[in-house]
Amino acid sequence: MKSLTLQAPAKVNYLLEVIRRRPDGYHDLRMVMQRVNLCDTITITLTETPDISVTCGKKGVPDGPGNIAWKAARAMLDLADHGPGAIIDIIKNIPVAAGLGGGSSDAATVLMGMNTLLALGLSEQRLMEIGVTLGADVPFFIFQKTALAEGIGEELTPMPAMPAAWVLLVNPGVHVSTAWVYRSLQLTNRTGLDKIRELFRSIEDICSIFSNDLEAVTIPAFPVIAEIKETMLREGAAGAMMSGSGPTVFGLFRDRESAERARTVLADDTGWFTAVVETI
């Protein structure tokens, strides 16, 4: 049996602007997306029988066809000229439904892993085309670079080089429905979008582009998000913001020690998910 074990990283959004609602129900977005080294571990094993098995064992993550990783495997096996199946084992370290892209990253990793195991030879562009049919964030994780993402997230342009940063992630465990957030968002007329800077010399330069339109919906409903942001800034973060549709908040720090001190403050007696990670 052929087998492969891969890491599926999380992401944060340095910028998330909602431009317009599209006729197909999606929204046109403008995002700056950055990977961080909080990763799910995915093992893919080809089998002689044509079934697909996904095991995760994490609450909120289905094991069968309802899992986006299962759908990714199905898409790749349909392209193979023979009939193997696959066993996919996911060790879930990225919080579920957290605004960190864990499911999309898992799907992207399965697409790339199956491309290797099945020797399909598909290009990055072709994998991204398959990926967007599974989820809007999937192409970004195949792209594997810090990116300006437009359209529904599938139009990707590499960003200028950015300094590495230590990132504190805090998820307070409240349930935020992405569909509810977008449905509730009041779009404003945008006469012009801020130009993305061409050079990022410092973490402060990165923080200067921080903006997330979805906070306008999420923070009034879940004030704990604002409280976490304020605590991060008070504890030395150069900038702090909600990632995606939340509820995870991230802060950028100049060094690991500062990030760990802030993590200790926010983890104390809360039971929240907290992690200090690096940008990749």
DSSP letter, residue 39: E
Give SS3 for 275. Answer: strand
For residue 139, say if its preceding peptide bond is cis, omega within 30 degrees of 0.
no
CA nearest to 218, candidates 183, 188, 252: 183
DSSP code per residue over 214-270? THHHHHHH-THHHHHHHHHHHTT-SEEEE-TTSS-EEEEESSHHHHHHHHHHHHTTT
Of the listed 40, 106, 137, 213, which one is catalytic? 137
59 is catalytic: no
Tokens linked to 139: 């192409």
Phi, psi (degrees; rounded to nearest 5) at 140: -60, -40
Return the beta strands (E) in the chain as ranges. 3-21, 27-47, 52-55, 85-91, 147-151, 155-158, 166-171, 211-212, 239-242, 249-253, 273-278
24 is catalytic: no
**Torsion sign (Cα): 224, 279, 255, 197:** negative
Of the listed 11, 71, 92, 229, which one is catalytic? 11
Tokens linked to 27: 């929204």
Query: Do the beta carbons of residue 266 and residue 272 sit within 8 Å?
Result: yes
The secondary structure element, H or E, covering residue 38 is strand 27-47
Question: How many CB atoms within 10 Å of residue 261?
Answer: 15
Task: Classify residue 116 as exposed, middle or buried by CB count within 10 Å of its CB (0-12, 13-18, 19+).
Answer: middle
Give me the active site residues, please: 11, 137
